[in-house]
Structure formats: C-alpha cells, structure tokens
Amino acid sequence: MSTLEKKVSKEYEGATIREFLKEDLGLSSRLIRRSAIEKRILVNKKEVRMRYIVHTGDLVQINLQSDESQNITPEKMDLDIVYEDEDILVINKKPYMVVHPTKTYQSGTLANGVLFYFKETNQNCIVRLVSRLDMNTSGLIIIAKNQFAHMALSKEMEENNLELDLNKLNGKEILENVFGKELNSKKSILEVIEIIKPLAKEALDADKVQEVYTIIYKSIEEMNTIVKANTIMYLKNQLKGAIGKYVENKDPKEMNYFLEFFKEAYPPNNRRVGYTRVINDFSKITNEQIWETLTYINRVVIKTKRRLGEEEKQDIIKNINGLLKSGKIEYINQVKSLEKLLVALNVKVVSYKEGFKLKNR
C-alpha cells in the first residue's frame, strides 16, 4: 500500500484535515506531522495545510513512501521469508541471531540482512520491527515496510493481546523476556543496556524503567569481586549514559527506612558529631540513638495515626531486636512501654532463651 486514501463521510463535514486523519483513519500525531512536513497529504489531488476544512465527498490521500535511512550496514544473508506484501515482511528467525545491531553486535544481525534485501529488491524501506525475539530464540518476526503499517500492526497486536505487554511484568520478568541471560559479566551488562535503551525510550512506563535500571545497577555492584573497580565505574557510566535520563534515581541503593526516621528524629538544631557518623555508616548507630528514634516513631504513630509500610515495619523491628539483644533491662522495659508502636507493628516483647525478642501477636 503505497498510498492510503479515503473519502470524507458526512460525519466529518467541517472538520479539519488533522481531525479527520486522527479520528477517522486513526493515524498517530507523529505520522500526520511528518506527512504534512513532507507534503504527502492531498485532498482532491492537491496539497493542503493542516488547518484545511474537509467536506463530504472529499478524497483524502496520503503517500506512505518517505525517504528514510538507518545507521545499519546492509549485509547479504539467507533470509527465511515466509510472507511478504506491500506493507509487511515476515521472517522465520534462526536461533542465536541478534535481531537489531547493538554496540556489541554491529553486524550479522537480522536487521543487517533485511536492509540488504530491501535495497536488493529496490524497496525504499527501513527496518521497522513490529515484534521481537531474543538472540537465542527462533520464530517469526514481523517487519513493517512503512510507518502506517507499523502503527496499525502495533495497535492491533496490543488490542488483541498478541504481543506481551512488558508493562504488566515486574523488572526481573522484563529482563527474562527480552534478554534471558545472567547479568554477571561485562559483556552481558553491555548487551542488556543496548536492548533496554530503546524500550526505555518508547515502550516501558517510567516505573518499569526504574525497576529494570535498578536490577542492572545492582548486578554491576555485585560483580565487584570478579572485575576491577574501574570496570564497575565504566559499566555504571554506560548504564547512566544510555538509560539514566529515563529514571529519577540514577544511583539506587537499598532503602534504610530506619535511617530515614533517624534523620527526622534529629532535626538540624539537634545534630551532634554522632549524627554524621551514623549517616556515613549506619552500623555506627548507638543503642541510645536507636531508642531516641523509636520514641520519635512512636510519637508519629500516636499523633498522626500514620500507617507504616511493610518495609518500614521490617526495618523498625530489626532495630528493636538489636536493642533487645543488648540485654540491658532499661532498654527492654522502655521498648515494652512503646505500646502504640508495638500494636502498629503487630508484635510483642517475649522472653527468648536468656534474653528477649519480638514475636508476632
């Protein structure tokens, strides 16, 4: 389909050409804008501006051919083409073949071969992937030959649930579906960054991008025993450079909720040398500081009737148990006096062996 055309019905009498294209033909704003800039939108065989008012019976035409290029080197290869028409190309991908070039795989990808095929057969097309498969998986790949076909097929697949909606998965599941390998080497980290980069830009919701980013970031940190420190820094910089602009937290660390309460318990006018020491190294917190923080949390629970989150509860319980483990009777009695907090945590103080600990109510 080199040209898309349709007559205007009575329903759209008096509408602008932009409204007709968007509402009746279902074209995306991006496709309309680009077609208008390239003067490929005609009404009754004449070029029109986007403010043009259409009338019943007008013949609207859009030339779908557009001069486009891709930074992909064409390479001759045997392609298993199972179907082709004016709008799409369907290929049976072999296993162990990368679909699209990355920094690691600049050649030998399916896209390299498809672009060569388009040029060899005099088709003015770029590679628009409608579906994807990871490197190790074989199966059918759908490639659209023009922007309209890509838009229509992507929409149809989404509405009919023919394509996996990555935004319905958690970060770990997303990585398993699009990559499927362990993140335990420099090579695998660089590969997954290249795969996630376009998804972060166009396919994934912001919270999902952050989840995936955090998993990759932590995987890099966990490699500190097998690679050098400068390699860790290099990989983090690659991750930040490629995906960092799509996330809020570029240096994700495991949240210490008790530390956050500690900061609130010690306002700026009541911060001493010990405060800074704890901020820099939480393991330096003293029993007295734990107690002061607990009394603050107890006041917050009583005064504001605040509901604590599960992760907040776990961090508080962990630190109360640390205080009880000290064996000092004054702290044990003080913890028992925090009735509102203990109820909110759904725990109670019980004797355990030669000491005390928290137990669920």
pLDDT digits (tens, 9 = 90+) for 216-255: 998 998 888 888 888 988 999 999 999 999 998 888 876 7
Query: Which pLDDT band holds residue 116 (cuts at 50, 70, 90)?
Result: very high
Confidence (pLDDT) at 325: 87
Give the model's confidence band at 96: pLDDT under 50 very low, under 70 low, under 90 confident, else very high.
confident
Least confident of 49-63, 72-86, 154-168: 154-168
CB-neighbour burial class of residue 174 (10 A; exposed 0-12, middle 13-18, buried 19+)? buried
Q: What is the rounded average pLDDT for all residues in the chain?
A: 84
Examine the pLDDT at 337 and tell me if it is beyond 80.
yes
Cβ atoms of residues 107 and 161 within 8 Å: no
Based on the residue annotation, tell me whether 207 is a catalytic residue of this protein.
no
- 350 φ, ψ to 5°? -130, 155
What crossing angle do the helices spanning 206-221 and 186-202 adopt, rounded to 10°?
Answer: 170
Position 104 confidence tier, pLDDT thresholds 50, 70, 90: confident
At residue 158, the pLDDT reads: 61
Give which of 238, 226, 178, 185 is closest to 203, Cα–Cα. 178
241 in Cβ contact with 197 (< 8 Å): no
Element (H, E) at 353: none
Q: Mean per-residue pLDDT for 303-312?
A: 80
Say if residues 62 and 40 touch (Cβ distance below 8 Å): yes
How large a percentage of the chain has pLDDT more than 70? 96
pLDDT reported for residue 113: 93
Q: What is the pLDDT of residue 5?
A: 84
Whether the predicted pLDDT of 117 surpasses 90: yes
Closest residue by Cα to residue 25 from 59, 69, 48, 65: 59
Write down the catalytic residue from 58, 85, 87, 134: 134
Checking if the pLDDT of 135 tops 80, the result is no
In 109-256, which ranges are continuous DSSP H helix? 110-120, 147-159, 171-178, 186-202, 206-221, 229-243
User: What's the pLDDT band for 161 if we cut at 50, 70, 90?
Assistant: very low
The closest alpha carbon to 60, from 40, 34, 38, belongs to 40
